[in-house]
Amino acid sequence: MKNNFVGSTFDDFLEEEEIKEEVANGAIKKTIALQMQETLKKEKLTKTELAQRLETSRAAVDRLLDPYNDSITLLTLKKAASIMGKKIKLELV
């Protein structure tokens, strides 16, 4: 069997498929959502309490914590992180 992909990287594959940015964005959102869910458990903070502190609905908190919903604004992420005693760190690379 001949492997046509020897020497290729996963990044090369994603670039060839033109989905690298989409995959990276999804991974970032999933990581943030997971970290927020873990923080809620650690701080014993319910989704309802978080919604009240954010002055929003429980449905909005569900969207915030949904690892597949990437339509959350930076302002919402920043406010939620602050309520949980965390900060959002962004950087250009």
Residues shown for the chain? 93
Cβ-based neighbours of 81, under 8 Å, separated by 6 or more: 36, 87, 88
81 and 88 in contact (C-beta within 8 Å)? Answer: yes
**CB neighbour class for 6 (10 Å; exposed up to 12, middle 13-18, buried from 19):** exposed
Per-residue confidence (pLDDT) for residue 59, from 0 to 100: 95
Per-residue confidence (pLDDT) for residue 90, from 0 to 100: 82
The per-residue pLDDT string of the chain (93 residues; one tens digit each, 9 = 90 and over) reads: 566 656 678 888 888 889 988 888 888 889 999 999 999 999 999 999 999 999 999 999 999 999 999 888 989 999 999 999 999 988 877
CATH number of 10-83: 1.10.260
